[in-house]
Structure 1
């Protein structure tokens, strides 16, 4: 592998991690705020649309905007980073909810 491809794959992984953090972090914040707003459907709709557009633009940038060589490898690595953040957020939120439910029962 040449240095350019390695750098592109590292950028792809970092972008996937960033996109995953934005998407799942935004989802987590949206869920937390739903009970505090007067129109939760509007918050949920706007949050979902904005998170989806940002994520799709990020994947487009990684897959299409960079050089045409090794497109599928960059997209796969970006998706891997995205899924790593999904795993992190589902595990973190699950542990946070478990500790909150234990505190409320005591």
Structure 2
């Protein structure tokens, strides 16, 4: 299990995403830091792309997205290391990443009321 921290840039308006990320945050014991992309984000994080698929900033500053982002989180969350190891090989990771990116836009999202969730480009 890796002990360095990662920052997970996730969609805080997706109830499924929030629930899943909170599990990783809790299990990661400080090694998985959550950052909702519907608020302020760093200049090098593309909001639309981060809403389309999970992004993670690794400890060395590298940004990874899609299935690689999940692997980075699972490596730091006790009980999920086996999932990272199982899905890391390219032969397995590639199709899983394609399926994830195809399905992610169809996830449920809460609606914003009265401009409370106004997102700037």
TM-score for the superposition, normalised by structure 2: 0.28
Point out which structure has higher relative CO (alpha carbons under 8 A, 6+ apart).
1
Larger Rg: 1 or 2? 1
Higher helix fraction: Structure 1 or Structure 2? 1
